Amino acid sequence: MRLNVYAKFLGLMVSVIPAKAGIQLGDLYRFRIKSGMTRKILLFGVNSISICFLFLFFFVAPVSAESEFRTQHRIRYTVSETGSTDVSYGVILTNNIARLFAKEYTVRLATVNVRDIAASDSAGPITPKVTQENGSTEIVVPFHNPAIGIGNETSFSISYVVTDVVVKNGSVWEITIPPVRKSDDMDSFKLFLDVPPSFGKPAYLSPKPQPDGYWTLEQLARGGVTAAYGLRQAFTVELSYFLENPDTHDQTMKIPIPGDSAYQRVMLDYLRPKPLDMTVDADGNWLASYMVPAQSSLDITTVATVVTQVAPWSGYQTNLTPEQKKIYTSVQPFWESNHRDIAQKAHELKTVDRIYEYVTNQLRYNYQLLEMPTRHGAIGAFEDPYAALCSEFSDLFIALTRAIGIPSRLVHGYAYTTDSKLKPLSLVKDVLHAWVEYYDERTHTWVPVDPTWGQTTGGVDFFTRWDFNHIAFVRLGVSSTQPNAPGNFRKVGRKKDIQVGFLEKIPDLPTATIQVAYASVQSDSDSSSIILTNESKTAFTVESIDGLVGDTVLPYHIPPYGTLMVGISKEATIAVINGQTYALYGGNRKTKSSLSIGVLLWGMGCLFFIGVAVRKKLYH
């Protein structure tokens, strides 16, 4: 932006006019100049820094407003034990024009949660002018002795305390420093962050600071700084379901229960009524089965503790078979990867990171569509990028990745946010959100990314690192529409089906209860059947069984209320469950009774050790 300025007389006024309605984070303001006076704004995320200029003499030629000063910024955020943050600016303004000098400096903050405002320059303390209105604070700092002449400098400092940069959610401290809008007159820009030792090591700093511990202007221009301190986050999740059977015969119906993944662990504290069983589908969803009598209904409530972390748990890799890769790259409704334009764009982009960047830059979240959300799919998003909600961001990402052979799938779940503008929840029926997972061939892991929040936050990184605040309810990869997520099993008159809260402490997982039962054997067979039943609140993983007979594919995750029947040889065999080794016994009819007792005794004797194994494996 260039402003052509003609100075006519001393002491002129300035009118600042927004360029357009609905200015969002990072938008530049444009200005209407009255009587030749200029005013310049440097954007600092939600903060705007204004410099008011005073002309001393007449000009006969236009002057570029972008070259009137050079600036150096040194900004430090110092966080206290309680989370309140001291912010200090050290600024040096260098004159580029002989007859022009800076008279005052303005910081505009998009918050009223600010106190202890102070300022000073080389002549001593300055009493700033503070105005608060419409949820924002403006701090005007008039200089005592502004420098005059080319190359001369005006040095000053501003400090204040804010209380909404740092938030403690549950057991995690989260820090959000807004992005900085680049300006050509910034010669130097360094931002520092100091936190108390009690916060511990960061779970992530995004982007990573320079070796000397500061962030540059180029880094902050791409989305600001986000940081989190804590190992894991714990939520309590209460879900309500309503099943109705209008038919004249009984029906078995299934509901999804939030389950384990590479980034979350679930402890099922309560589930009533008790399901017939719990199975795991091809996408890893936990599905509880219920018999609903003819022309009747059933209310179901579950309460779960969900523990999240930003890095995948070890041992939760998935080796996709060629058949599975074919499924996760196939064309589905809303994922039109065979569409000519989508396929062409995908082959231009070539990689998953460039696809993420394209989706976040191309689409625009349309808040007006939240009242009546409609899923338009990948084609709709591609053709109308300004009519997107989180489903469009997700569907387009999936179609583009599938078009070049990268397995991907959709996730519906809950994502905690304190700002519905920066981090919106689009599935308004019960504040649900949608994001995606792609399969990383190198790590054999489903990696979550959130292109919607990548766009709405102005560039915060939700690709190379994950956060603590996403809870997956269901994953859709085999089908683009099923299973339905919690929140879609609504009862007329019930306002809320989803309740989520933080837990201050990370709970210990309960001791796993695994019942091992002898099923059956044929006298002329070399194998017998063993039934493993999970009677605990957490899932366990059968990693391997020596002498396995049949087509059971291991590792196999058994959810609460779930069972696994496997064939094993008659001789004693070894099973590895949650990283621990156990003996399983088979046999024939003549020794059925004693072998069954032997198996049960082994199961009972191992309860303690399995409990220890679960804790060590899941929380190491």
| Of the residues 205, 229, 253, the one at which a domain ends | 229
pLDDT at residue 424, rounded to an integer: 67
Tell me the C-alpha distance between 397 and 436, whole Å. Answer: 8
Burial (CB count within 10 angstroms: exposed 0-12, middle 13-18, buried 19+), residue 454: buried
Q: Note whether residue 418 is domain-resident.
A: yes
Segment 280-284 shows an average pLDDT of 95
> In terms of domains, do 221 and 366 share one?
no
Q: Note whether residue 255 is domain-resident.
A: no
Q: Note whether residue 133 is domain-resident.
A: yes
> In terms of domains, do 565 and 435 share one?
no
pLDDT at residue 598, rounded to an integer: 33
pLDDT at residue 373, rounded to an integer: 86
| Of the residues 214, 229, 244, the one at which a domain ends | 229
For 483-527, the DSSP string reads: SPPTTSS--TT---SEEEEE-SSPPPPPPP-EEEEEEEE-TT-SE
Q: Note whether residue 149 is domain-resident.
A: yes
> In terms of domains, do 192 and 337 share one?
no
> In terms of domains, do 96 and 213 share one?
yes
Q: Note whether residue 311 is domain-resident.
A: no
Q: Note whether residue 45 is domain-resident.
A: no
Condensed to tens digits (0 to 9), the pLDDT of residues 428-456 reads: 444 689 999 999 999 999 999 999 999 99
Q: Of 504, 575, 593, whose CA–CA distance to 173 is shortest?
A: 504
| Contact call for residues 123 and 200 (beta carbons, < 8 A) | no
Q: Note whether residue 252 is domain-resident.
A: no
Lowest mean pLDDT among 363-372, 472-481, 484-493, 595-604: 595-604
> In terms of domains, do 456 and 540 share one?
no
Query: Is 30's pLDDT higher than 70?
Result: no
Output the pTM of the full model.
0.80
Query: Is 1's pLDDT higher than 60?
Result: no
pLDDT at residue 119, rounded to an integer: 97
| Of the residues 476, 498, 531, the one at which a domain ends | 476
Q: Of 266, 276, 279, whose CA–CA distance to 239 is shortest?
A: 266
Segment 499-526 shows an average pLDDT of 75
Specify the CATH number for the domain of residue 104: 2.60.40
> In terms of domains, do 148 and 223 share one?
yes
The SS3 of residue 105 is strand
Q: Note whether residue 248 is domain-resident.
A: no
> In terms of domains, do 106 and 210 share one?
yes
Q: What is the rounded radius of gyration, in angstroms, for the C-alpha atoms of the chain?
A: 30
> In terms of domains, do 445 and 548 share one?
no
Average pLDDT, the chain: 81
Which residue range(s) make up the domain with 353?
Answer: 322-476
Condensed to tens digits (0 to 9), the pLDDT of residues 365-396 reads: 998 888 888 999 999 999 999 999 999 999 99
Specify the CATH number for the domain of residue 456: 3.10.620.30
> In terms of domains, do 78 and 219 share one?
yes
Segment 541-570 shows an average pLDDT of 86
pLDDT at residue 508, rounded to an integer: 83
For 522-585, the DSSP string reads: -TT-SEEEEEEEE-SSS-EEEEEETTEESS--SSEEE-TT-EEEEEEESS-EEEEETTEEEEE-
**Sign of CA pseudo-dihedral 303, 309, 315, 316:** positive
pLDDT at residue 547, rounded to an integer: 82
Sequence-separated (6 or more) residues with CB below 8 Å from residue 340: none
> In terms of domains, do 387 and 464 share one?
yes
**Residue, of 96 and 27, whose pLDDT is higher:** 96
Q: How confident is the model at residue 29 (pLDDT cuts 50, 70, 90)?
A: very low
Query: Is 472's pLDDT higher than 50?
Result: yes
| Range picked from 349-363, 518-532, 545-559 for highest mean pLDDT | 349-363
Condensed to tens digits (0 to 9), the pLDDT of residues 139-182 reads: 999 999 888 888 999 999 999 999 989 999 999 999 999 888 77
Strand partners, 557: 541
> In terms of domains, do 471 and 535 share one?
no
Beta-carbon neighbour count of residue 178 at 10 Å? 23
Total count of domains within the chain = 3
**Sign of CA pseudo-dihedral 56, 60, 66, 72:** negative
Residue burial 54-69, b: 16+ Cβ < 10 Å; e: rest: ebeeeeeeebebeebb
> In terms of domains, do 464 and 529 share one?
no
Interior CA angle at 13 toward 8 and 14, to 5°?
110
| Contact call for residues 79 and 175 (beta carbons, < 8 A) | yes
